[in-house]
């Protein structure tokens, strides 16, 4: 032994270990969503985990803070590389790189881990699985509509029942038109107004009014400086974000009354009208996709339509209080992203959601998702001398498509039964000297035993009964195990 300090066994913060239960849920969601996306004509396309840092966009590592926002390292040619923080930026790089050879519009979907180097919190990690779909090379509003329709259907396929989530849609051009109407002068004020609007669902109209004007002090005493709009401007903004409780066409009419006339606003209205029409013909009603003028999303990024998937299911925390889960995904039109590389504008639109976030949303809503991960049938190992017999049993079961294993630890039989129980094995198989000599095998139905044992208080009786246990001819093994598995369905 040396005096070297022992390493502390812990995962870096913000990184998760995921066991079978979570992985099963994730895979199930991804399989279902992929099937929907492929049905819409989207092809699978993935990129590597690393990109050159300058390709990722605004968070460029510099010499002082190379890891701001992203995980970055220097390649042996001194170039900065960074782990991707989403799936969209790498796609833009790929499209710019291969634009000659790509059939356009290019429709693709992808899922995989992304990494963000920032402070983790509850439900917020530094590595998480994202699922993303994009159409690159179409400026048509119908491309947005199709992404929205697909998102709706994908989330439903993933396990969100109809009516439990809604896609809320807005258009950045409307917001820009609104800013003109409200008399916003510069970019600083513009950002402040958009941030204020974004908080409508949390702070309510009064909170937003304060943020639009002088500013607002929150419960912790922290003061957030306001946008400094005059009263008329603030009213216009509030009237705008207050629209959108009715049907899609009605919402557009209301908005037109407030901001109609500005060129950009009118363009946004026309796009939303086209999206409405396409959604209707795709069979997506207002209960699944609605216009909501208060949706903002990322400020620097989106150029046209923006969408956000909001969970409507009532969820509760462990104390039984209602919790609003809020956004489970979002997206929009980003026409400038490829132009960063080529100088040539390539219109694009997409939607992405966090897979583990969706899993926890479904769980919070009381949906079972891979909750009962069954273990294999466990063959009890009595003595090393009979290993050959044990392995012939698992071989038979595996050949029949039944997950099975020989217990390979060193514990006694009692511990082996406990092991089988804890792994949620459907059955344990006992092949001791007696059975081998008689050409028999003993099968214990662990599920049945679980049920029967609740009615037995006395231990001697419990042992006597051997609940759920049967000894049969060796040749009937597979059939008997199958029967147990079917009963457990």
Partner RNA sequence: GCCGCCUUAGCUCAGUUGGUUAGAGCGCUAGAUUGUGGCUCUAGAGGUCCUCGGUUCGAAUCCGAGAGGUGGUACCA
Binding residues for RNA (CB under 7 A): 13-14, 56-59, 69-70, 85-86, 88-89, 116, 118-122, 195, 199, 202, 218-222, 224, 297-301, 382, 411-415, 417-418, 420-422, 430, 432-435, 442, 444, 446-450, 452-454, 456-459, 462-463, 466-469
Burial label, 393 (beta-carbon count in 10 A; 0-12, 13-18, 19+): buried
Of 245 and 438, the one with the shorter C-beta distance to RNA is 438
Contact status, residue 427 vs residue 377, Cβ threshold 8 Å: yes
Closest distance to RNA from the beta carbon of 310 (Å): 13
Of 362 and 417, the one with the shorter C-beta distance to RNA is 417
**Token pair for 5:** 């300090």
Closest distance to RNA from the beta carbon of 291 (Å): 20
Closest distance to RNA from the beta carbon of 35 (Å): 26
**Token pair for 428:** 């344990």
Cα–Cα distance, 397 to 406 (Å, whole number):
11
Cα–Cα distance, 477 to 398 (Å, whole number):
12
Of 14 and 228, the one with the shorter C-beta distance to RNA is 14
Q: How far is CA 178 from CA 154, 203, 243, 305, 463, in A?
A: 33, 20, 13, 15, 77
Cα–Cα distance, 293 to 175 (Å, whole number):
8
Of 231 and 299, the one with the shorter C-beta distance to RNA is 299
Closest distance to RNA from the beta carbon of 24 (Å): 21
Output the CA angle 335-328-82, nearest 5 degrees.
55
Closest distance to RNA from the beta carbon of 436 (Å): 8
Of 121 and 384, the one with the shorter C-beta distance to RNA is 121
Strands 348-354, 127-136: pairing is antiparallel
The neighbouring-strand residues paired with 136 are 106, 348
Contact status, residue 310 vs residue 48, Cβ threshold 8 Å: no
Closest distance to RNA from the beta carbon of 371 (Å): 17
Of 252 and 397, the one with the shorter C-beta distance to RNA is 397
């Amino acid at each position: 032994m040396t005096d070297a300090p022992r390493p502390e066994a812990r995962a870096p913060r913000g990184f998760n270990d995921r066991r079978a239960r979570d992985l099963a849920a994730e895979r199930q969601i991804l399989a279902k969503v992929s099937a929907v996306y492929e049905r819409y004509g989207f092809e699978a396309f993935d990129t590597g985990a690393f990109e050159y840092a300058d390709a990722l966009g605004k968070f460029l590592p510099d010499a002082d803070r190379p890891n701001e926002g992203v995980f970055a390292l220097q390649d042996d040619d001194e170039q900065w590389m960074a782990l991707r923080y989403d799936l969209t930026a790498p796609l833009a790089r790929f499209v710019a790189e291969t634009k000659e050879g790509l059939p356009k519009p290019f429709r693709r979907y992808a899922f995989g881990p992304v990494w963000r180097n920032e402070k983790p919190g509850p439900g917020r990690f530094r590595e998480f699985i994202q699922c993303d779909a994009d159409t690159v090379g179409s400026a048509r509003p119908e491309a947005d509509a199709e992404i929205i329709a697909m998102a709706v259907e994908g989330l439903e396929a993933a396990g969100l029942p109809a009516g439990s989530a809604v896609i809320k849609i807005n258009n950045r051009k409307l917001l820009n038109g609104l800013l003109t109407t409200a008399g916003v002068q510069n970019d600083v004020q513009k950002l402040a107004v958009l941030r204020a609007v974004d908080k409508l669902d949390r702070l309510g109209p009064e909170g937003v009014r304060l943020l639009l004007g002088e500013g607002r002090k929150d419960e912790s005493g922290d003061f957030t400086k306001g946008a400094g709009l005059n009263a008329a401007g603030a009213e216009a903004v509030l009237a705008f974000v207050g629209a959108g409780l009715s049907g899609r066409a009605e919402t557009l009419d209301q908005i037109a009354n407030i901001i109609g006339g500005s060129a950009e606003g009118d363009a946004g209205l026309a796009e939303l009208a086209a999206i409405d029409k396409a959604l209707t013909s795709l069979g997506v009603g207002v209960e699944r996709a609605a216009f909501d003028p208060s949706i903002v999303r990322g400020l620097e990024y989106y150029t046209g339509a923006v969408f956000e998937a909001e969970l409507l299911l009532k969820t509760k925390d462990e104390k039984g209080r209602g919790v609003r889960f809020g956004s489970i995904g979002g997206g929009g039109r980003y026409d400038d992203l490829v132009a960063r590389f080529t100088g040539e504008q390539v219109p694009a639109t997409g939607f992405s959601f966090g897979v583990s976030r969706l899993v926890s949303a479904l769980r919070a809503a009381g949906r079972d998702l891979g909750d009962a991960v069954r273990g294999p049938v466990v063959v009890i190992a009595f003595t090393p001398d009979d290993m050959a017999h044990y392995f012939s049993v698992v071989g038979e079961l595996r050949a029949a498509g039944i997950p099975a294993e020989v217990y390979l630890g060193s514990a006694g039989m009692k511990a082996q039964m406990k092991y089988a129980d804890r792994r949620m094995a459907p059955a344990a198989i006992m092949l001791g000297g007696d059975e081998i000599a008689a050409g028999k095998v003993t099968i214990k139905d662990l599920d049945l035993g679980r049920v029967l044992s609740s009615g037995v208080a006395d231990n001697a009786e419990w042992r006597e009964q051997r609940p759920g246990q049967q000894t049969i001819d060796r040749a009937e093994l597979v059939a008997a195990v199958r029967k147990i598995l079917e009963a457990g369905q």
